[in-house]
Amino acid sequence: MLRYIGWIWPQQAQRQFSTLKEGKPPAILFAAIANPVPQYSGTRHNVGNWALDQVQKGRSDVPPFKSSRTYRGYSASEPSELNAVFLKSTQSYMNLQGRPISKAWSQFKKAYPNHSAAMVILHDEIQIPLGKIQIRRQNTSARGHNGLRSIDSTIGPVYTKIGIGVGKPDNIPVDKHVLSKFCSDELEVLTGESLPQIKAIIDDMLQGKYIYDKQ
């Protein structure tokens, strides 16, 4: 059973949001924000990269990730049948995600001029427990997440979020917690509980659900 947590409703801001335009079908940029790999692979901060890896491996219509000349600084999967691009951050630090995301978003919109472009950011979320996933609409706050704050300072909160719960630390600072690696028991929770939800959400989004919702 999917365990989504409810929507967040921040104060409205004036931004250039993604909207579904008449005669223009959806096209979606899914981007995971993370610290450089392989140094930080397997850490909580890089759980978005892990999630997209697992999604790709489970779908025959999503090709393997590879370096991209179009989306520099990312490992990209560009499934032609889905009108979507999947990006894993590979070079930039989490607190410097704004500029590369802005460039990737511009490139994506140029590649799909006859579509209603939307962007979805996958990120770690300490505000929700391990095993739970949260969808958050366009124009919701960064909640102090440095990667999201960097993006918001560059292009604004004009994207949908998939927050992947990693839980709050008990006895260590937050920065050490998000840079720590998952233990084997936690990986079982991610695989058995988080991943099915993420796959279902992405399936829904590819059908146009959630991605144009805003507050």
Q: Point out the residues that are catalytic.
A: 45
Joined together, the tokens standing for residue 165 give 């719960």
**Separation between Cα atoms, residue 42 and residue 128, nearest integer Å:** 19
Q: Is 183 exposed, middle or buried (0-12, 13-18, 19+ CB in 10 A)?
A: exposed
Q: Are 101 and 151 in contact (CB under 8 A)?
A: yes
